[in-house]
Structure 1
Amino acid sequence: MNPSTHIYYYPNQMARILLLSGDEILGQAGMSAVLNAIPGGSRFVENYPPANQKLEFPFELVAGLQASLELNYGPHGGRGLSMRIGRASFQHGLCEFGPLFGLTDLAFRLLPLKTKLKVGANAFADIFNKHSDQRVRIEDRETHLCWHIERCPVCWGRKTEAPACHLAVGLLQEALYWVSGGKMFNVEEAQCCAVGDSQCSILIDKTPLG
């Protein structure tokens, strides 16, 4: 697939959550600088998308946010900030989308951990598959869950030397922390479209650290 021939979108509400999370981590001035460095991003400076489900925020701007963070803060700093923004995005997004898929129900919270991981991963994937143009597929292996992003907004159109979907990694880290009641898991991107792979694949250990 040649990304330049397709236009795919996040809903405005997801984009708003992402940008407000950037505000929280970078401060408004820092977020404005990041947006100004993205082609087409300046129109969102202090003018975030409305909280609706219209598909109007293009993948190119999501990928541009990640690239701009690396440009403004260096590869290492940009990676860390992207993961923090991803974690904050889950915290804010859970309030908006979690109830739609039963993620905040008491019955879900009482499930055994391994069951919660699988059920939660599939429900979380459904949020993206049903409300955005992102496409996620879950693969259940013996020791890992594999979060395969077959149409990835985070690295859309980018070319990098190493996996670059740090926003997605941070988002999943926080989701796992919440689902498990405060446990940490190893989360690692093993494949990335930006380095030439056919999909972005993030591996999640089923056993928490420690």
Structure 2
Amino acid sequence: MNQEVAIEEEYFYPNKMGRIVLVAMEEIMGHHGVNAVLNLAKLSHLVNNYPPNNLQLGFTFSEFSVIQQTLDDMYGERGGRGLALRAGRETWKYALKEFMPVLGITDLAMRMLPLGIKIKIGLDVFAETFNKFSDQRVRLGEDAEHYLWIIERCPICWQRVSKTPCCHLAIGLLEQALGWVSRGRRFKVEQISCIAAGDETCTIAITKQPIV
């Protein structure tokens, strides 16, 4: 038997997505705060040198994941979770500006469509954005009460091990995206499975009915 362990294939986000996340983190933590995270994560090559604003696949899942893990290492699980959620919400602001015009849905929130249809269209377009521009793989599902955002290849918890679901940035991003699509309504967004915790997918459940 061959005793060699195969090197796991690396996957990528486009540079633009990596840049957006770092800029969003800077909004929350400040420039020095982000630099501290990058240094502790052994990503000093990104200090004062964010990825360029292009769609080249150059920002690795490993880099993305270790940044998220380092938030927990620096601030504790609860503190890291809060920062990641806030960074996810800020990420949406920049992602909307950079990606939505390309997909032609900038006026989605203003269309006279029933709320449920707008949410389904929005989630489909968001999933397609990741599937088209990155190596992240997302598919959609639903049950009687929830829409399901199912990440089959997840950069946030890539190669991480966690006792509980840890893809908090994705939750913050979806919360803000749903608020935009629904023109200010709020939905309960909860991660119910996580690859880092041993599950097959990172699945986020979104209530079909808004809570506010």
**TM-score normalised to structure 2 length:** 0.94
TM-fit CA distance, 1:107:
7.8
Aligned residues of 1:102 and 1:108 also touching (Cα < 8 A): no
Q: State the alpha-carbon separation in 2 of the partners of residues 71 and 159 from structure 1.
A: 13
What pairs with 1:189-204 in structure 2 (closer than 5 Å)?
Answer: 189-204=191-206
Instruction: Give the structure 2 partner of residue 50 of structure 1.
Output: 52
Instruction: Give the structure 2 partner of residue 96 of structure 1.
Output: 98
Could you give the per-residue CA deviations for residues 88-125 of structure 1, whole angstroms, max 9, x where no partner exists?
00111101111222321258633211001000000000
Instruction: Give the structure 2 partner of residue 60 of structure 1.
Output: 62
Q: State the alpha-carbon separation in 2 of the partners of residues 159 and 191 from structure 1.
A: 13
Instruction: Give the structure 2 partner of residue 112 of structure 1.
Output: 114
Aligned residues of 1:190 and 1:203 also touching (Cα < 8 A): yes
Q: 1:15 aligns with which of 18, 36, 39?
A: 18
Are 1:160 and 2:162 an aligned pair? yes
Q: State the alpha-carbon separation in 2 of the partners of residues 185 and 19 from structure 1.
A: 26
C-alpha change, 1:161 and 1:32, in structure 2 (3 Å) is: same
C-alpha change, 1:107 and 1:205, in structure 2 (3 Å) is: closer
Q: Which runs of 5+ in 2 are unaligned?
A: none
**TM-score normalised to structure 1 length:** 0.95
Q: State the alpha-carbon separation in 2 of the partners of residues 209 and 136 from structure 1.
A: 25
Q: Which runs of 5+ in 1 are unaligned?
A: none
Could you give the per-residue CA deviations for residues 107-151 of structure 1, whole angstroms, max 9, x where no partner exists?
863321100100000000000000000000001322111000000
Matched AA of 1:71: D
Q: State the alpha-carbon separation in 2 of the partners of residues 148 and 133 from structure 1.
A: 14
What pairs with 1:16-31 in structure 2 (closer than 5 Å)?
Answer: 16-31=19-34
Could you give the per-residue CA deviations for residues 151-191 of structure 1, whole angstroms, max 9, x where no partner exists?
00000000011000001011001001111111111000000
C-alpha change, 1:110 and 1:58, in structure 2 (3 Å) is: same
Q: What number of residue pairs does the alignment pair up?
A: 208
TM-fit CA distance, 1:4:
5.3
C-alpha change, 1:138 and 1:151, in structure 2 (3 Å) is: same
Instruction: Give the structure 1 partner of residue 8 of structure 2.
Output: 5
Give the root-mean-square deviation of aligned CA atoms: 1.5
